[in-house]
Chain A
Amino acid sequence: MNPEQFFSASRLVIVAGKGGVGKTVVAASLARAASKTGRQALLVEVQGRSGIGRLLGGEELTYEDQVLLTDPSGGAVRGRTIRPDDALIDWLNEHGMKRIAKRLVQTGVLEIIATATPGLRDLLVLGKVKHLEREGDADLIVVDAPAAGHAITFLRAARTLYDTARAGPIHNQAKEVLDMLADPARTQVLLVALAEETPINEMIETAYHLEDHVGVKLGPAIVNGCYPLLEGLDGKPPRAPKAMVADLERAAELRRNRVELQEAQLARLADELPVEQIRLPYRFDGDMDADAITILADHVLAGIGDLSLSAGGQDAT
């Protein structure tokens, strides 16, 4: 599949995964990859302190849409936050509550009401995302979703509120968000994991849960932090100064063992979750920064290139 097709398949991509698997890095790399194809990619952070802005060499993101970097192709990566409280105030403003919105926040009443209406905050965040998606101001919107368990709650919010609020503005909003999530031409979810037992388990569980309860289209599984394969690490070490032999042996053994674990987990993932995989390499020789994201973006593009034509979203069933 060529990247053009992939990035045109749906305007909204939601990136989700367990804490510590590099979900934010993947979201940034995906946006960066899209920017390399001349697209305007908008990164949306829905929880605080993801560090996504600094990762791309800019400032922490704010509610204002800002350009984080531009690509020679004419594409760009932009970024903004949509925090629940901001989304709630926006929504109240749009629904004739402008005058009291501020007071609701200051008195803490809003917190109570939002608490009493589970999913309200998440719904309004997604409602705001839907607004941006409909506006078409960006070619690709990449949402850095909450960590996996919360991602399910996040994406189920619309369904829950659609069922509980039978009529009125909340019901309508939920309906519109559900329509967006369930439409493969508008939305796909990319799940991120490391090639280790627990993250892979969580990825599989989340995938089936999202399929069954949200009806969202799953894109390829992104496996982050993979060790590239090195041939010939068994047997005796090569000729080396005596002092280095033990270090060589230790490194080779650990690399062999970790790669073995990794391949076993990837095989299990392929077995239990029939979607294609995109592997992103572990970065040994530097911290995550804008350059590293650009390198990862190339791996994302290569991974997309290796997908079969039908990919970019398949059923997990």
Chain B
Amino acid sequence: MTTITGLLDDHRIIVCTGTGGVGKTTTAAAVALEGAERGLRAVVITIDPAKRLADALGLDGLTNQPSRVSFDAPGELWALMLDTKTTFDELVVEYAGDDDQAQRILQNRFYQNISAALSGTQEYMAMEKLYELAGDDRFDLLVVDTPPTRNALDFIDAPNVITRMFDNWLYKAVMAPSRGALRAVNKAAQTLMRQLSRIVGAEVVDDAIAFFQAFEGMEDGFKSRANSVLALLASEESAFVLVASPRHDTIDEARYFADQLSEANIAVRGIVINRMHPYADSIDAAEAKTRAMKASGRAASWWKALADFQATAEREREHIDTLLEAMPANVATARVPMLASDVHDIGGLHEIRSLLG
């Protein structure tokens, strides 16, 4: 059976995905660390690392460029914290016909709003950064942490966010005159926009139109880029790892995630379950509970501690079984126990790495 770290043999891109609060960032960093220990030049793209982990990785500022984590390893470990806005700006500059066009877009308020706030933009830029670094010959291994979301499609679909806008009726209507389309379309659009202006204010509508006009000529570049990103994610180079906690509700969400990924023709190659409670082989929860009730004083506390963890651990096993039953048999799995303390340094990442198997 494949192990999580074994995925590095066949894939140079590892995408860690899952809902919020399940340890995605830590898992991603530990996988990248494994790469470095194998002599690879690994880079981890993090979205919103906890402060102390960020410090441990040397991520004290938003540089949006990988910086090298200094520690002793056969390979290299690099890390970056995604800056959504800057990544988007760089993409605009790259595809703009000239400086003037780039500036018109970057200064546009509508653009500033979508590049910071459009739902899916963060996911889109994470994928964009991944694509950029995939073509960077400084790195052999890319590990990406994804924004927390309940919906896997938010991020599979992310590169379509912008292209969908170009396919939008309003966009086509606004751009119609220069394309020689029917005048009537334009007229209907104008009526609609007058009404919209009354509600949301004329500035908003004007900004949107100015943005579309400024963007003219760049749609194809953006669309083909988005397609390349998706193709890379769906290729054999990439492996998706689903990160979850063993709680009933997060396991349910993980299953939903896996279903959505499979509908998008993306296979889940690995599953990491974090924060497993300790399972006792010598006794079941019911017996430990009985012993706790019969005992008194500190003996009762000891049996209670065992009974509590065992009751949870037994349920966790059941939940995980239902998740794994729904997965292909060859999926790599790792069960990471709950640790005595939080992970916030390279030493802690080493511990997680060894537990990933």
Residues of chain A touching chain B, judged by Cβ–Cβ distance below 8 Å, are 18-21, 47-49, 51, 92, 95, 97, 100, 103-104, 107-109, 111-113, 115-118, 120, 147, 149, 153, 165, 168-170, 196-199, 201, 227, 230-233, 235, 237-241, 243-244, 246-248, 250-255, 257-258, 261, 284-288
User: Which of B52, B110, B280 makes the CB contact (< 8 A) with A251?
Assistant: B280
* A198 / chain B contacts, CB cutoff of 8 Å: 50-51, 342
User: Which of B198, B282, B295 makes the CB contact (< 8 A) with A244?
Assistant: B282
Query: Nearest Cβ distance between residue A155 and chain B, in whole angstroms?
Result: 15
Beyond the given A103-B192, A231-B298, please list 19 additional residue pairs across the A-B interface where CB-CB is below 8 A.
Answer: A20-B19, A48-B150, A49-B253, A104-B196, A109-B168, A109-B192, A112-B208, A113-B204, A113-B208, A115-B117, A147-B148, A168-B198, A170-B201, A201-B51, A233-B302, A240-B291, A244-B283, A248-B302, A261-B341
Query: Nearest Cβ distance between residue A212 and chain B, in whole angstroms?
Result: 20
Q: Which residue of A lies closest to B19 (CB)?
A: A19
Residues of chain B touching chain A, judged by Cβ–Cβ distance below 8 Å, are 19-22, 48, 50-52, 110, 113-114, 116-118, 148, 150-151, 164-165, 168-171, 192, 195-196, 198-201, 204-205, 207-208, 245, 248-250, 252-253, 256, 278, 280-283, 285, 289, 291, 295, 297-299, 301-312, 315, 338, 340-342, 344
Cβ contact within 8 Å between B309 and A170: no
Cβ contact within 8 Å between A100 and B192: yes
Cβ contact within 8 Å between B278 and A250: yes
Provide a sorted-by-A list of 29 A–B residue pairs whose CB atoms are within 8 angstroms: A18-B20, A20-B20, A20-B22, A48-B151, A49-B150, A49-B253, A95-B199, A108-B169, A112-B165, A113-B205, A116-B200, A116-B207, A118-B116, A153-B117, A168-B198, A170-B199, A230-B301, A232-B297, A232-B301, A244-B280, A247-B281, A248-B306, A254-B309, A261-B340, A261-B341, A261-B342, A284-B307, A284-B311, A284-B312
Q: Which residue of B lies closest to A259 (CB)?
A: B305
* A120 / chain B contacts, CB cutoff of 8 Å: 200
* B51 / chain A contacts, CB cutoff of 8 Å: 198, 201
Report how far A240 CA is from B283 CA in the complex, Å: 11
* B171 / chain A contacts, CB cutoff of 8 Å: 112
Q: Is the interface of B mostly helix, strand, loop or mixed?
A: helix
Q: Which residue of B lies closest to A99 (CB)?
A: B195
Report how far A117 CA is from B308 CA in the complex, Å: 50
* A18 / chain B contacts, CB cutoff of 8 Å: 20-21
Cβ contact within 8 Å between A230 and B280: no
Query: Nearest Cβ distance between residue B301 and chain A, in whole angstroms?
Result: 4
Query: Nearest Cβ distance between residue B203 and chain A, in whole angstroms?
Result: 9
Cβ contact within 8 Å between B164 and A108: yes
Q: A109-B192, A118-B113, A288-B248 are in contact. Are A251 and B342 (CB under 8 A)?
A: no
Cβ contact within 8 Å between A118 and B117: yes
Report how far A107 CA is from B171 CA in the complex, Å: 10
* A149 / chain B contacts, CB cutoff of 8 Å: 48
The 5 closest A-B pairs by CB, nearest first: A20-B21, A19-B20, A232-B298, A238-B299, A247-B280
Report how far A241 CA is from B19 CA in the complex, Å: 41
* B249 / chain A contacts, CB cutoff of 8 Å: 51, 288
Q: Which residue of B lies closest to A197 (CB)?
A: B342
Report how far A116 CA is from B117 CA in the complex, Å: 9
Q: A20-B20, A232-B301 are in contact. Are A109 and B169 (CB under 8 A)?
A: yes
User: Which of B118, B299, B308 makes the CB contact (< 8 A) with A115?
Assistant: B118
* A107 / chain B contacts, CB cutoff of 8 Å: 168-170
Q: Which residue of B lies closest to A257 (CB)?
A: B340
User: Which of A21, A115, A237 makes the CB contact (< 8 A) with B113?
Assistant: A115
Q: Which residue of A lies closest to B113 (CB)?
A: A118
Cβ contact within 8 Å between A233 and B280: no
Cβ contact within 8 Å between B196 and A285: no
Q: A20-B22, A258-B338 are in contact. Are A287 and B248 (CB under 8 A)?
A: yes
Cβ contact within 8 Å between B20 and A116: no
User: Which of A20, A95, A97, A241 makes the CB contact (< 8 A) with B250?
Assistant: A20
* B196 / chain A contacts, CB cutoff of 8 Å: 104, 109, 113
Cβ contact within 8 Å between A247 and B168: no
Report how far A190 CA is from B205 CA in the complex, Å: 37
User: Which of A48, A246, A257 makes the CB contact (< 8 A) with B341?
Assistant: A257
Query: Nearest Cβ distance between residue B30 and chain A, in whole angstroms?
Result: 16
Report how far A227 CA is from B308 CA in the complex, Å: 10
* A170 / chain B contacts, CB cutoff of 8 Å: 199-201
Report how far A192 CA is from B42 CA in the complex, Å: 36
Cβ contact within 8 Å between B168 and A112: yes
Cβ contact within 8 Å between B204 and A233: no
Cβ contact within 8 Å between B148 and A19: yes
Cβ contact within 8 Å between A254 and B338: yes
Query: Nearest Cβ distance between residue B208 and chain A, in whole angstroms?
Result: 5
> Which of A103, A118, A288: most chain B Cβ within 10 A?
A118
Report how far A112 CA is from B302 CA in the complex, Å: 60
Report how far A116 CA is from B199 CA in the complex, Å: 13
Report how far A244 CA is from B164 CA in the complex, Å: 61
Q: A18-B21, A232-B297, A233-B302 are in contact. Are A196 and B342 (CB under 8 A)?
A: yes
Cβ contact within 8 Å between B305 and A255: yes
Cβ contact within 8 Å between A254 and B278: yes
Query: Nearest Cβ distance between residue B270 and chain A, in whole angstroms?
Result: 20
User: Which of B151, B245, B312, B338 makes the CB contact (< 8 A) with A20?
Assistant: B245
Q: Which residue of A lies closest to B340 (CB)?
A: A257
Cβ contact within 8 Å between A252 and B195: no
Cβ contact within 8 Å between B306 and A285: no
